[in-house]
Homo-oligomer: A and B are copies of this chain.
Amino acid sequence: MNQSHTKQKAPRDEATHVVNGVDVEVLGGTVGAVQAEPELGVCRFRASNIWVDGARNESRVTGFYGAGQEIAHRQVFAMVADEPPILAGNDDGANPVEHLLHALASCLTTSMVAHAAVRGIHIQAMESRLEGDLDLNGFFGLDPETPKGFTNIRARFRVDAAEGDMDAIRELTQFSPALNTLTQGVAVDVQVARK
């Protein structure tokens, strides 16, 4: 991992409303609005995807529904998925399940950082390594008893924070939407229509 991305963050004065790089006044404003009117918490997140060729396809994320309105992102986000040569791809992007691990890593990170911020817990640095077990006997359809998805995922975090804050920080992982989605499962309705 490129360690140049790790940088020390100076704990900032809470009078600036910024803790861990999170503007807790802004975040608190959203939390307060949802608390006052729970319906504002309803969100619909979206991604669209176009198959390019072979194992390569690309997603676009442009906006979402939240706080009772359609909200456009400041820019269009593009993500590329491909497969390595062993799976007949050209390795032009991480593969779908690697993107899934990124989603989980980023969600756990943001959940800890943001929830720590609103609690006044300062974090100087955080990094993680995730690994998931997947048996191709399932995906290839060679053995119907073999699960087709990840069977286990391990997430290992290293956090630079005060020793006395570590237990509180560990507790905050429970808030992660991606963690909850993955551990509890979610109903997915797939419909395939002819174009």
Interface residues of A (CB under 8 A from B): 1-2, 5-7, 9, 20-24, 26-27, 30-31, 34-35, 38, 40-61, 64, 66-67, 71, 73-75, 77, 79, 81, 83-88, 91, 93-115, 123, 125-143, 146-161, 163, 166, 169-170, 173-195
Contact = CB atoms under 8 A, between A and B. Distances in A.
A166 to B, nearest CB: 5
B97 A107 contact: yes
A56 to B, nearest CB: 8
20 contacts: A21-B56, A22-B88, A34-B137, A35-B142, A48-B128, A48-B130, A49-B129, A74-B91, A88-B114, A97-B181, A100-B104, A103-B103, A125-B195, A132-B186, A153-B189, A154-B189, A155-B189, A155-B190, A179-B188, A182-B188
Nearest to A111: B139
**Identical chains bound together, number:** 2
B91 A110 contact: no
Contacts of A186: 132, 149-153, 182-183
Contact of A133 (B40, B43, B156, B193): B43
A14 B155 CA distance: 43
Given A104-B188, A151-B186, A73 B91 contact: yes
